[in-house]
Amino acid sequence: MHQHADLDGRHGALTLGSNHVRFALWAPDAQTVSVVTAKGLSMSMLSHSDGWFSLEAQCAVGTHYKYLVDNEFEVPDPASRFQSNGVHGHSVVVDQDAYNWRCQNWQGRPWTEAIIYELHVGLMGGYSAVKSSLPRLADLGVTAIELMPLAQFPGERNWGYDGVLPYAPQCSYGRPEELKSLIDAAHGLGMGVILDVVYNHFGPDGNFLHTYAKQFFQDDKKTPWGDAIDYSRTEVRDFFIDSALMWLLDYRFDGLRLDAVHAIDDPTFLEEFSQRVRAGCGEDREIWLVLENENNEARRLENGFNAQWNDDGHNTLHVLLTGETDAYYANFASNPTHKLARMLSEGFVYQGEATRNGQQRGEPSGHLPPDSFVLFLQNHDQIGNRAMGERLAHICPTPALRAATVLLLLSPMIPLFFMGDEWAADEPFLFFTDFHDELAAKVCEGRRGEFADFSAFADEQQRERIPDPNALSTFENSKPAFKDAYQEIGESAHSDWVSFYRQLLQIRHSDIIPRLHGCKALGAEVLADKAVTARWRMGDGKTLRIDLNLSQMSLGIDVDPTALLLFFYLSQRRNSAAISATLRRISHSGNMRHRDLAGFHPHP
């Protein structure tokens, strides 16, 4: 790792003591750079031969500043620790050591204990509002929350994947100390906090690196978001790794979920990333590193990363639950029951096979433990990337969704569910942004154009119904009604769902998590169309067996009479879904008794 002697490899403004700040900017295309404050003070930075500019100066915490490049244009600090007024505003000097942590001894939880609740901070009302929801989530059985990206993005509202300042927590959600208080409170309840980070691209508004650091990008390699980031450069690698360490050390996040790493065009960066991040955090801390990776590179999960979001699992279950086979679901339309069995037994569905586009995808994954895969029925992508943002509760029958939920929460894979899943929220989760003028029009047009491959929106007039991402109403309509769902007064379909989740998570805590370390899949079999049975040898030598039936036909299965029945779900409706989870000693053999798993018709 290249480090300049007086810069120690770190970007941005770092406090060195009382009223003493060191500024550092990598600007290889600039001739001169100055720090200019909001009060009009200008301080020239020292130029170094490797493209760095630095300055140590008397400067108070809270100072608002920008960089003046070549006496022509002012830009925010690309490693700003906080922005006063969005991506075009002043950067703010932050003392990361000022917060007084209450949970001083928190070292995290083992990955096998993860039960992840993904949420959007803005929709919940900001850092303080999320903090107030933590006791409810802890009572439900959640052991970790995952925050959608916080890096400063343009405007007041955004999913977070348009961030341009990867060190600065979004200012419209609250101040840095409020984010730290949220994490501190989570630790006090025994909950971890994961941050979704985007290191594969910058958003379309507010990124000024092209003006003074063109070498940050590769103009001969394009991505869906423009020129690819050049990870062959030490300064670029340091920029993102230092950002990751900032979130883990200064804010004490417990883990990171790396967005779309298949879009990072460097085969060595991820390995260096995991090594340096884990070394920087020390051996005593439990640090969770999770990937989103369309390439299904199983080797990544053997070397430095805990797990990968299992899109194959979601896509297979989605086809079985809804019958939808448009767009990317087409890769899972053929023999989805066999794909489900393979996923439960081996992790990935695609392990080198060709997709519908003829491209080989994936690597063998059957040797990996089940906790190498994060399973979900829904996440922000799989709801929000629907044109109208509908949740599964509104596009598939309740019995099927409940049966799939049992599979999600009791299988040895790491479960993740999205805010509102636990009460079958009525509100959609739509794609929203806060762009303006020409960019807003392009984003709206692009959003609607994405659905041309879907039969329901093949006609341009039909696509006009898709909500404008920039309309305030699109954001407001996506706010989940937490208060209504968790009211203790009376019974409702929503409160019944909450009780269902709570019951299943209690079983996971008592019977799955203690046995999860050392778990190994023993295989899965197709019983009939839309029906499978799967088994795992748990860490204590017992066998977990799950039988799932989403078919139209009732099926007979053999059940060990001495096995401990963990859970059995059978809807009272005719043609209903059924699922059972049993736990027995692997060495036991004896008479088996017969049980019917009633069938379920997949369309309401």
Q: What is the mean pLDDT of the chain?
A: 91
The residue from 254, 292, 297, 511 that is catalytic is 292
DSSP H or E run through 151? strand 151-152
Closest CA to 348 of 305, 386, 299, 382: 299
Rounded mean pLDDT, 549-569: 83
Give per-residue pLDDT as tens, 224-273: 788 899 999 999 999 999 999 999 999 999 999 999 999 998 989 999 99
The confidence band for 595, taking pLDDT boundaries of 50, 70 and 90, is low
Give per-residue pLDDT as tens, 156-197: 999 999 999 999 999 999 999 999 999 999 999 999 999 999
> In 3-state terms, what secondary structure has residue 91?
strand
Of 251 and 453, the structure prediction assigns the larger pLDDT to 251
Q: What is the pLDDT of residue 7?
A: 55
User: Is the pLDDT reported for residue 525 higher than 60?
Assistant: yes
User: Is the pLDDT reported for residue 490 higher than 50?
Assistant: no
Confirm whether 97 is a catalytic residue.
Answer: no
Contact status, residue 546 vs residue 512, Cβ threshold 8 Å: no
The confidence band for 455, taking pLDDT boundaries of 50, 70 and 90, is confident
> In 3-state terms, what secondary structure has residue 33?
strand
> In 3-state terms, what secondary structure has residue 368?
coil
DSSP string, 525-563: EEEETTEEEEEEE-TTSEEEEEEEE-SSS-EEEEE-TTS
Contact status, residue 150 vs residue 170, Cβ threshold 8 Å: yes
Rounded mean pLDDT, 421-434: 95
Q: What is the pLDDT of residue 550?
A: 81
Query: Distance between CA 341 and CA 313 in Å, rounded?
Result: 10
Give the rounded distance of the alpha carbon of 240 from its chain centre: 18
Non-local (6+) Cβ contacts of 543 within 8 A are: 522, 535, 536, 537, 583, 584, 585, 586
By mean pLDDT, which of 27-36, 385-394, 411-420, 550-559 is the weakest?
550-559
Query: Distance between CA 58 and CA 23 in Å, rounded?
Result: 11
Q: What is the pLDDT of residue 332?
A: 96
By mean pLDDT, which of 24-33, 217-226, 256-265 is the weakest?
217-226
The confidence band for 482, taking pLDDT boundaries of 50, 70 and 90, is confident
The sign of the dihedral angle between the CA atoms of 159, 164, 165, 171 is: negative
The β-bridge relationship of strands 151-152 and 52-58 is unpaired
Confirm whether 292 is a catalytic residue.
Answer: yes
Give per-residue pLDDT as tens, 95-130: 999 999 999 999 999 999 999 999 999 999 999 999
The 10 Å Cβ neighbour count of residue 46 is 12
Question: What percent of the chain stands above pLDDT 70?
Answer: 92
Closest CA to 497 of 425, 439, 396, 555: 425
Of 32 and 574, the structure prediction assigns the larger pLDDT to 32
The predicted model scores a pTM of 0.94
Cα–Cα separations (whole angstroms), residue 580 to 348, 393, 534: 23, 21, 11
User: Is the pLDDT reported for residue 150 higher than 90?
Assistant: yes
> In 3-state terms, what secondary structure has residue 580?
strand
Cα–Cα separations (whole angstroms), residue 459 to 194, 464, 465: 40, 9, 11
Rounded mean pLDDT, 206-210: 95
User: Is the pLDDT reported for residue 5 higher than 50?
Assistant: no
Question: What percent of the chain stands above pLDDT 90?
Answer: 79
Contact status, residue 124 vs residue 118, Cβ threshold 8 Å: no
Of 408 and 494, the structure prediction assigns the larger pLDDT to 408
The 10 Å Cβ neighbour count of residue 489 is 6
Query: What single-letter amino acid sits at 74?
Result: E
Query: Distance between CA 350 and CA 262 in Å, rounded?
Result: 15
Cα–Cα separations (whole angstroms), residue 414 to 153, 229, 371, 375, 456: 30, 31, 5, 6, 33
> In 3-state terms, what secondary structure has residue 125?
coil
Cα–Cα separations (whole angstroms), residue 10 to 153, 201, 360: 22, 20, 39
By mean pLDDT, which of 70-84, 359-373, 581-595 is the weakest?
581-595
Rounded mean pLDDT, 16-34: 95
Query: Distance between CA 218 and CA 468 in Å, rounded?
Result: 32
Give per-residue pLDDT as tens, 55-109: 999 999 999 999 999 999 999 999 999 999 999 999 999 999 999 999 999 999 9
What stretches of 334-387 adopt beta strand conformation (E)? 373-375
DSSP H or E run through 224? none
Rounded mean pLDDT, 502-511: 97
User: Is the pLDDT reported for residue 32 higher than 80?
Assistant: yes
Query: Distance between CA 435 and CA 162 in Å, rounded?
Result: 10
Query: Distance between CA 239 and CA 11 in Å, rounded?
Result: 7
Query: Distance between CA 382 and CA 390 in Å, rounded?
Result: 9
Rounded mean pLDDT, 536-552: 91
